[in-house]
């Protein structure tokens, strides 16, 4: 299995396409960081308009932690599309080139190849996420400094102490890895069905866009299916940044408001990963490579 | 001169003023609690700097602090030390088992930020236990005080600023929280329009000098 993973990783990282995602993420993050560095106070002033009517906020609101949160909100919706570029090509790309026959005539079983390819694609996804974390969190901390996290949600504001923030980001990135691995698994499933590269990539992207729209629409009819859609759960990394309060409305250090929601989402995402990969194995095992 | 005479009309106000006059400056350490319906914040350590006649600054030791807009600076010191007011007696009221005298202050200087202030004073020890001040631009503030070991100087051990808050709502398009509505928080925000900032003082350093740069 190690050999398969090494071969697949070699194939992934020698393709120029692989680096499109790294470059795109770097470019997006740098542009946003540059914009906020130059004119972030106007942006913060706009966000805090309602609060400034009542309260005076003293401190470094626009710090690295808030910048990272803003970046993750913007990027974690789009990174799945970049993941699809690689994951959805893992099997169909080989089928398109005709090398799939060659792979399946080696002493390794089809199941071993599929699992090995999926692990390689997952490693790519995790490396991409680490790259995102490095630029969005650590580079922002370096550029903007750190302070308490002053988070403006739609209906309320959460003020998290500086020393209570970093572990939440660790949790959020671990959670995000499950979200992106689900997308990797979906792309992989699409890839196992098709015999060309474009179809599964576009198909995966379309599925993500379609289900994301369903997840975000507050229409009662869709509320029935929403809990079962992986896109509904992908955004729940935000739950790490909501805090419990006691009876005196005092925030409780080190707590998460809705830990159960995170656990449920992790279970749903894991089940999706297992389902998609199992389906990929079954489909690939039955795949006709002779015609 | 006329204003000064009018301010001295009420001897109780004069006693309070004399007591507060013993303190030229102080640096106080304390713990601040923010209780606003739409804000989830934890306790934070603060330092409060005061210098006569009416310079006051609350600084949080690291981190972000939230203070009522303009309200913290309208303290008893800033009301009485200016001497620019007319004191009007308004009877007595029971408050926490004490019979307090109620005195209304009306500023005689149009440039002052406050419009009217009501003080609840204990005539026995010349301590102000509660004030209600209406300002020109920052709404009304109720300040309640508790006293401890620094009562002889008129310095409270606990101070609570209560103020009106406005609605807080950001569109989901800005916060990117589509489908994340939290009805409980929304309901809570609508129910409670009062905000409170509590500062419990742990230590005072009095009349040791405070630089103007602190303000």
Of A55, A77, A232, the CB nearest to B68: A55
Nearest CA in chain B to A76: B176
- Residues in chain B closer than 8 A to A74 (CB atoms): 176
- Asked if the structure places residue A232 within a domain, the reply is yes
- Residues in chain B closer than 8 A to A229 (CB atoms): none
User: Which stretches within A88-238 are classed as H helix?
Assistant: 92-97, 99-104, 110-133, 140-144, 166-193, 198-216, 220-223, 230-234
Residue B181 and residue A154: Cβ atoms within 8 Å?
yes
Q: Residue B70: its pLDDT value, please?
A: 64
Q: How far is A143 from chain B (nearest CA, A)?
A: 18
Q: How far is A242 from chain B (nearest CA, A)?
A: 9
Of A51, A53, A59, the CB nearest to B65: A59
Mutate to test the interface with A, among B41, B44, B163, B181 (most CBs of A within 10 A): B41
- Asked if the structure places residue A216 within a domain, the reply is yes
pLDDT digits (tens, 9 = 90+) for A103-130: 888 888 889 999 999 999 999 999 999 9
In angstroms, rounded to a whole number, what is the distance separating the alpha carbons of residues A169 and A188?
28
Residue A157 and residue B168: Cβ atoms within 8 Å?
yes
Of B44, B63, B175, the CB nearest to A154: B175
Count the domains in chain A.
Answer: 1
- Residues in chain B closer than 8 A to A238 (CB atoms): 177, 180
Nearest CA in chain A to B39: A157
Mutate to test the interface with B, among A32, A42, A55 (most CBs of B within 10 A): A55
Q: Residue B178: its pLDDT value, please?
A: 62
- Residues in chain B closer than 8 A to A55 (CB atoms): 36, 66-69, 195
- Asked if the structure places residue A159 within a domain, the reply is yes
Q: Residue ranges of chain A with pLDDT lower than 70? A: 291
Of B38, B42, B170, the CB nearest to A161: B42
Average pLDDT across chain A, whole number: 88
- Residues in chain B closer than 8 A to A251 (CB atoms): 40-42
Q: Residue B174: its pLDDT value, please?
A: 66
Q: Residue B153: its pLDDT value, please?
A: 85
Residue B181 and residue A155: Cβ atoms within 8 Å?
yes
Q: Residue ranges of chain B with pLDDT lower than 50? A: 1-3, 5-8, 183, 186-187, 189-190
- The structure tokens listed for A10 are 């070699």
Binning chain B into helix, strand and coil, the percentages to the nearest 5 are 20, 45, 35
User: Residue A17 belongs to what domain range?
Assistant: 2-285
- Residues in chain B closer than 8 A to A232 (CB atoms): 179
- Asked if the structure places residue A291 within a domain, the reply is no
Of B63, B178, B189, the CB nearest to A161: B63
Nearest CA in chain B to A147: B63
Please, which residues have CB within 8 angstroms of residue A88's CB and are 6 or more apart in sequence? A187, A188, A190, A191, A197, A200, A201, A203, A204
Mutate to test the interface with A, among B34, B37, B39 (most CBs of A within 10 A): B39
- Asked if the structure places residue A251 within a domain, the reply is yes
- Residues in chain B closer than 8 A to A148 (CB atoms): 63-64
- Asked if the structure places residue A290 within a domain, the reply is no
pLDDT digits (tens, 9 = 90+) for A23-46: 999 999 999 999 999 988 888 888
- Asked if the structure places residue A209 within a domain, the reply is yes
Listed by start position, the domains of chain B span 2-207
- Residues in chain A closer than 8 A to B48 (CB atoms): none
Q: How far is A213 from chain B (nearest CA, A)?
A: 10
Residue B41 and residue A61: Cβ atoms within 8 Å?
no
In angstroms, rounded to a whole number, what is the distance separating the alpha carbons of residues B107 and A67?
46
Element housing B94 (H / E): strand B85-95
Answer for the pair A183, A83: CB distance below 8 angstroms, yes or no: yes
Between the CA of residue A124 and those of A94, A119, A158, A195, what are the distances in Å? 18, 9, 34, 22
**How many of the other CB atoms lie within 10 Å of CB of A59?**
17
Tell me the whole-structure pTM to 2 decimals: 0.83
- Residues in chain A closer than 8 A to B38 (CB atoms): 155-157
In angstroms, rounded to a whole number, what is the distance separating the alpha carbons of residues B191 and B62?
32
Q: Residue A183: its pLDDT value, please?
A: 92
Fold designation for B2-207: outer membrane lipoprotein receptor (LolB), chain A (2.50.20)
Q: How far is B46 from chain A (nearest CA, A)?
A: 12
Residue A58 and residue B165: Cβ atoms within 8 Å?
no
Cα four-point dihedral sign B151, B154, B157, B159: positive
Of A57, A216, A250, the CB nearest to B33: A250
Nearest CA in chain B to A153: B175
Residue B38 and residue A250: Cβ atoms within 8 Å?
no
Q: Is A145 left (phi over 0), alpha (psi -120 to 50) or beta?
A: left
Q: Residue A272: its pLDDT value, please?
A: 95
Query: CA A128, A134, A139, A145: dihedral to nearest 10 degrees?
Result: 140
Answer for the pair A232, A215: CB distance below 8 angstroms, yes or no: yes
- Residues in chain B closer than 8 A to A51 (CB atoms): 66, 168
Size of interface A-B (CB pairs under 8 A): 134
What's the ipTM? 0.71
pLDDT digits (tens, 9 = 90+) for A60-86: 888 999 999 999 988 877 888 888 888
């Amino acid at each position: 299995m190690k050999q398969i993973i090494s071969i697949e990783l070699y194939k992934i990282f020698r393709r120029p396409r692989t680096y499109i995602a790294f470059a795109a993420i770097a470019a997006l993050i740098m542009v946003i960081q540059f914009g906020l560095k130059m004119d972030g106070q106007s942006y913060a002033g706009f966000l805090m308009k309602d609060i400034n009517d009542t309260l005076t906020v003293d401190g470094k609101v626009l710090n690295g932690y808030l910048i990272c949160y803003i970046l993750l909100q913007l990027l974690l919706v789009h990174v799945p599309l970049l993941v699809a570029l690689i994951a959805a090509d893992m099997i169909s790309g080989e089928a398109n080139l005709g090398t799939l026959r060659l792979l399946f005539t080696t002493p390794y079983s089809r199941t071993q190849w599929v699992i090995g390819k999926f692990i390689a694609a997952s490693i790519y996804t995790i490396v991409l996420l680490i790259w995102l974390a490095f630029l969005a969190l650590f580079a922002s901390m370096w550029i903007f400094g750190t302070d308490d996290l002053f988070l403006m949600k739609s209906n309320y504001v959460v003020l998290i102490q500086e020393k209570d923030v970093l572990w939440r980001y660790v949790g959020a990135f671990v959670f995000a890895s499950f979200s992106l691995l689900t997308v990797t698994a979906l792309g992989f499933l699409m890839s196992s069905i098709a015999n060309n590269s474009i179809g599964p990539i576009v198909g995966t992207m379309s599925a993500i866009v379609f289900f994301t729209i369903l997840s975000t629409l507050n229409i009662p009819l869709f509320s029935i299916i929403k809990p079962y859609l992986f896109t509904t759960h992908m955004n729940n990394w935000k739950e790490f940044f909501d805090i419990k309060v006691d009876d005196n409305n005092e925030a409780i250090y080190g707590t998460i408001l809705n830990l159960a929601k995170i656990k449920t989402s992790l279970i749903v995402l894991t089940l999706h990963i297992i389902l998609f990969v199992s389906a990929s194995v079954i489909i690939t095992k039955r795949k006709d490579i002779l015609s | 001169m006329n204003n000064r005479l009018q301010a001295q009309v009420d001897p109780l106000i004069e006693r309070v003023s004399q007591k507060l006059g013993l303190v030229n400056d102080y640096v106080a350490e304390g713990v601040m609690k923010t209780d606003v319906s739409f804000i989830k914040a934890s306790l934070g350590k603060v330092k409060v700097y005061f210098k006569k006649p009416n310079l006051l600054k609350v600084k949080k030791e690291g981190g972000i602090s939230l203070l009522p807009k303009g309200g913290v600076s309208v303290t008893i010191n800033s009301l009485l030390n200016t001497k620019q007011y007319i004191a009007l007696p308004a009877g007595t009221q029971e408050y926490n088992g004490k019979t307090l005298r109620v005195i209304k202050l009306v500023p005689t200087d149009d440039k002052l930020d406050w419009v009217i202030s009501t003080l609840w004073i204990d005539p026995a020890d010349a301590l102000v236990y509660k004030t209600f001040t209406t300002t020109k631009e920052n709404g009304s503030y109720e300040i309640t005080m508790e006293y401890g070991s620094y009562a002889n100087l008129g310095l409270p051990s606990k101070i609570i600023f209560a103020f009106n808050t406005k609605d807080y709502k950001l569109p989901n398009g800005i916060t990117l929280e589509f489908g994340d509505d939290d009805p409980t928080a929304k309901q809570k925000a609508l129910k409670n329009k009062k905000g409170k900032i509590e500062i419990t003082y742990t230590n005072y350093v009095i009349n040791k000098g405070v630089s103007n740069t602190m303000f």
